[in-house]
Amino acid sequence: MAKLMKDQIRELDNKSAEECLSLAGQLDDDKDKFECYRRSAELGNPQGQYKTGFYYWNGFGVEADRTKAIEWYIKAAQQEYREALYVLSHAINYSDLQDDTVESLAKSDNLKAQIVLADRQYNDGNYTESFLLV
């Protein structure tokens, strides 16, 4: 069965996002799972985007890269994927997000992002813009 899975992984380009997610659930190897989730993410599936971000964040099957993780979380969050919205709200607290990312989230009515952005602007001396956000 493992051989069949390897053949299926090589043919990911011909699969739908849902097929890639389904295949990932049948695999044991993190690298193989990551490839399936990444392909699903590239096809625009929010669950695949979230899982790709999760694997990048934690370094499962791929070298850990928080910048790439956040990029995938944002794509999933833009499709209202709850888990991604939750993770991003916590990433904001830990200052893992760049100002432009926080600003983008703040513009999409993310209250926590608005507060963090206002705080960052205030600390940078941008008092007027800071108070406009509050």
User: What is the tens place of the pLDDT at every residue in 51-100?
Assistant: 999 999 999 999 999 889 988 998 998 898 989 888 887 776 655 667 77
**105 located within any domain:** no
- Closest to 110 in 3D by CA, of 71, 131, 84: 84
What is the number of domains present in the chain? 1
Question: Is the residue at 12 inside a domain?
Answer: yes
Confidence at 14, pLDDT banded by 50, 70, 90? low
pTM for the model stands at 0.69
d(C-alpha 109, C-alpha 5), whole Å: 42
**Residues 90-114, mean pLDDT to the nearest whole number:** 71
Mean of the per-residue pLDDT values for the chain?
Answer: 80
Say if 33 falls within a structural domain: yes
Task: Count the helices and strands in the chain (H runs, E runs).
Answer: 9, 0
Does 119 reside within a domain?
no
131 in any annotated domain: no
- Assess if residue 35 is contained within a domain: yes
Closest to 47 in 3D by CA, of 16, 7, 13: 16
Q: Which domain holds residue 36?
A: 2-79
Residue 16 inside a domain? The answer is: yes
Residue 110 is assigned to a structural domain of this protein: no
Give pLDDT, residue 1.
41
pLDDT over 50 at 129, yes or no: yes
CB atoms closer than 10 angstroms to residue 82: 11
